[in-house]
Amino acid sequence: MLPVEVTVGTHGWRERLKQTFLVTFPALLLCLALDFVGGGVLGKNFKIIATSYPLLLVILPGLSDLRGNVFGAMASRMTTALHLGKIKGILDKEVTTNVSMAIGSSKIPLIVLWVAGAIKLGFSHSAFIVLLIVIASAIVIGLLLGYSTAFITIFPYRWGTDPDMIAAPLITSVADVITIPTLVYLIFFYEDHKTAFYAFTAFMIVLFLLLIFLSDYKKEHVKAFKEVSGVLTILALIEIFSGSTLESYSDVISKAIILSVMYPSILDSVGNFASIAAATTSTRLNLSGKSALMNRGFYLDVLALLLLTPIIGFLTNYIAIHVTNLIGYHAALIWPFILGYPLLVVANIGIGVFIAYLSHRFNIDPDNVAIPTVTTISDVMGTLFVVLLAKMMVGA
């Protein structure tokens, strides 16, 4: 594709600060609030899941990240398509095709995660039920997230806002807030209504097949599908490390319950910062080539974004205290987290920009690679950060 002279982002430091604090910050704040819905559910049911369905802990980081990766990449592709005039409305067949492609591309890595968890903990009847729960939730959540992604990209674009600055963070947070409660609900659904659960899972599979039938796959979609599913499968193997670490240290984390409440928010917010950087880098590269990264304005955009990191870090801890108290546990400020969080974000933003540039250089669409890769790396680094904090707190 030939470089296209377009303007991505804003002009002037004051305008950048305005967009950062009036557009990006509210989006990240909303994401944080949404994350604590999942965090509260996880914190309240952490011991139950660790005892009765430990396989879910092994695949949970990868499962949550997989949803965010798939639909974060979809948001990035749709933003590029909007700039090029390929999408006009939420009911376009292009949107339907992207939704079915996103759901389908998650299936192979999903199976990889389940097999890895089953190998670690054993192939049992419980493992089979977890597989059905994961498949059913993948389709339900995929439909919700797919059309939410279309809404979050199309309407801000119409209103003159750059979707790259809000779409990826919002959709990954929506993925987190839906994923954990849905998994917990389906566990209870299975235990209380086994026959209805099996029927529901079969219905979801039929609905997904119907969506594929209504789609219009072209050469570009097949190429994107291969790129996304291939990358996600590799990333799923990396996520196994996060899940295994979470399951292995579940006893330690359960003694510092605030960290299980904060866990989704930490992973998601760090991934959000990195996703924004990766998404705007990808869009610039796709529209104007690598020369767009030589522009001083690009680095000012990143700098403005970094100003939010200490605020989000403190709010993550502060909100977690109240959520933890709400579910019946005592909690307080964790200063090593508050001081270490901005450094964690800086590292992941740098990784996001580098991955987008590297994929573009090797003729791989960064829209399909950058966000999935950087959020997976964020999950690994975030999980290690949480385990380190838990060992410090329990040791103290």
pLDDT in tens, 186-210: 888 988 899 999 999 999 999 989 8
Name the average pLDDT for the chain.
81
Percentage of the chain surpassing pLDDT 90? 15
The stretches of the chain forming alpha helices (DSSP H) are 13-19, 25-52, 54-83, 93-105, 107-121, 125-158, 167-192, 194-213, 219-248, 250-255, 257-288, 296-306, 309-326, 335-361, 366-395
Q: Which has the closest alpha carbon to 73: 272, 367, 374?
A: 367
Q: Tell me the two tokens of residue 9.
A: 């982002």
**pLDDT (0 to 100) of residue 8:** 47
Q: What would the pLDDT profile of 279-314 be if each residue is shown by its tens digit?
A: 888 878 877 777 667 777 778 888 888 999 999 999
Scanning the structure block, which residue is given the tokens 């959540």?
Answer: 141
User: With contact defined as beta carbons under 8 Å apart, do 274 and 352 qualify?
Assistant: yes
**138/140 Cα distance (integer angstroms):** 6
Residue 69's alpha-carbon distances to 2, 104, 129, 186, in angstroms, are 27, 13, 24, 22
Q: Tell me the two tokens of residue 367.
A: 């829209």
Q: Tell me the two tokens of residue 173.
A: 């947070």
SS3 289: coil
Q: What's the whole-number mean pLDDT along residues 228-242?
A: 78
Q: Which has the closest alpha carbon to 301: 158, 153, 160, 165?
A: 165
**pLDDT (0 to 100) of residue 165:** 66
Give the sign of the dihedral formed by CA 203, CA 209, CA 213, CA 216. positive
93 vs 281 pLDDT, higher one: 281
